[in-house]
Amino acid sequence: MQNPVTVIQSVRLDDENDTLVLLDQTVLPNETNFLELKEMEDIWDAIYQLKVRGAPAIGIAAAYGAYLGAKKSTAETYEALFADFTKVKDYLATSRPTAVNLFWALNRMEDRFKQEAGKSVAEVKAALKEESENIRAEDEKICEAIGEHALSLLEPGWGLLTHCNAGTIATAKYGTALAPMYLGQERGYNFKVYADETRPLLQGARLTAWELQQAGVDVTLICDNMASIVMKEGKIQAVLVGCDRVAVNGDAANKIGTSGVAILAKHYNIPFYVCAPLSTIDLECQTGDDIHIELRPSEEITSKWYEKPMAPDGVQTYNPAFDVTDHSLITGIVTENGIAYAPYTESLPKMFKK
């Protein structure tokens, strides 16, 4: 019997209608609404407004967007088509700054374009479609492999804590940090999962809790500031999180609040694992200090989820979307090619050679 959650395609291409179809993650769990986007401005907005979110899903959406932009071009030569493609690529790249998958996917689409030099416009467009579909299909296999590797670190009956949402709707299938939970559910591991609500956008409450509950996983929602007490009470045996960018030294950027969870896990001697497809590992980025952290609008803190504003009018806010967990707090980084351990400057590059 197929899991009702892992069959969801949160990002897909409707090529016949020149449309990118996205599960609108901003209205979950109250509505399951799929957006049908044809214009680049709408695709850009969907990425920026977090209608599609999760590093792999962002990359897949960007790849499809780049293909659709090229497909709609009326250019009659390779050079003219490349100029139109580049405009779309550069435009989509401005939607969000932190998730490396966005740029990885767009650059991969550009590389494929260049490989088709000398071919007809129609052949180039067909190649771009193929590449975008390959990116989606490969992500599904990558997530399953990450899940298998992560599951090897866990024992049946364990309590697991996760932060933000790194599940099926953030990827092509299974997710990254949630992948071992889904695989474990299929194999009778009976994990008990604690999901941080993940302020201020509540990805844990709205998305992770919804996903896991729909899949029949034993999930308990907690406020972010409750992570310490469930650890102290012995309810957590491992922490698994996703990430948006990993530096070559192992510093990992993930949703705001992740570094605090890692600090708590270190204090209570609980292993803390980052689940990271190789596409999120940036070997050009030396440390977490080099990762650009996106700042989000103040309304996300003061009024977004409230009937009335819950902060004084005009109060100053600071709303970084991500923080960086220091490599010294990370027990291991789980990739599709295996598990990297410290020193990460040695183990992470080796993952690319497997």
The CATH code of the domain that includes 72 is 1.20.120.420
Residues 171, 143 contacting (CB under 8 angstroms): yes
Residue closest to 132 by CA, chosen among 163, 111, 118, 152: 111
- Indicate the residue among 83, 114, 143 that finishes a domain: 143
Same domain flag for 116 and 230: no
pLDDT of residue 97: 79
Q: Which two tokens stand for residue 291?
A: 């990762």
Pairing of strands 218-222, 192-196: parallel
Residue ranges of the chain with per-residue pLDDT less than 70: 1-6
Same domain flag for 307 and 187: yes
Q: Which two tokens stand for residue 246?
A: 């990993």
Residues 140, 182 contacting (CB under 8 angstroms): no
Same domain flag for 37 and 173: no
Same domain flag for 288 and 201: yes
pLDDT of residue 199: 96
Angle, CA 257 vertex, CA 178 and CA 337 arms, to 5°: 40
How far is it, in rounded angstroms, from Cα 211 to Cα 204?
Answer: 10
Same domain flag for 127 and 159: no
Residues recorded for the chain = 354
Phi then psi dihedrals of residue 287, to 5 deg: -145, 170
Please indicate, yes or no, if residue 47 is contained in any of the structural domains: yes
Same domain flag for 83 and 194: no
Residues 335, 320 contacting (CB under 8 angstroms): no
Please indicate, yes or no, if residue 41 is contained in any of the structural domains: yes
Please indicate, yes or no, if residue 2 is contained in any of the structural domains: no
Q: What is the CATH number of the domain that holds 196?
A: 3.40.50.10470
pLDDT of residue 55: 87
Which helix (DSSP H) or strand (DSSP E) does residue 144 occupy?
A: helix 121-151
Please indicate, yes or no, if residue 3 is contained in any of the structural domains: no
Same domain flag for 212 and 288: yes
- Measure CA of the first residue to CA of the last residue in the chain; give whole Å: 33
Q: Which two tokens stand for residue 304?
A: 């977004």
Angle, CA 90 vertex, CA 89 and CA 94 arms, to 5°: 115
Please indicate, yes or no, if residue 4 is contained in any of the structural domains: no
Parent domain of 77? 11-143
Please indicate, yes or no, if residue 192 is contained in any of the structural domains: yes
Same domain flag for 131 and 159: no
- Indicate the residue among 128, 143, 158 that finishes a domain: 143
Residues 166, 275 contacting (CB under 8 angstroms): yes
**Ranges of H-type helices in 179-324:** 179-186, 203, 209-214, 227-232, 258-267, 299-302
Which helix (DSSP H) or strand (DSSP E) does residue 63 occupy?
A: helix 55-71
Please indicate, yes or no, if residue 6 is contained in any of the structural domains: no
Residue 298 identity: S
Same domain flag for 137 and 65: yes
Same domain flag for 161 and 214: yes
User: In 2-88, at which residue ranges do the beta strands (DSSP E only) sit?
Assistant: 11-14, 19-23, 34-37
- Indicate the residue among 108, 143, 178 that finishes a domain: 143
Among 139, 196, 224, 244, the active-site one is 244
Same domain flag for 267 and 332: yes
Beta bridge partners of 339: 334
How many distinct structural domains can be found in the chain?
2
Residues 10, 52 contacting (CB under 8 angstroms): yes
Same domain flag for 193 and 338: yes
3-state secondary structure of 90: helix
244 carries an active-site annotation: yes
How far is it, in rounded angstroms, from Cα 27 to Cα 23?
Answer: 9
How far is it, in rounded angstroms, from Cα 150 to Cα 180?
Answer: 6
Please indicate, yes or no, if residue 304 is contained in any of the structural domains: yes
How far is it, in rounded angstroms, from Cα 164 to Cα 261?
Answer: 11
pLDDT of residue 259: 98
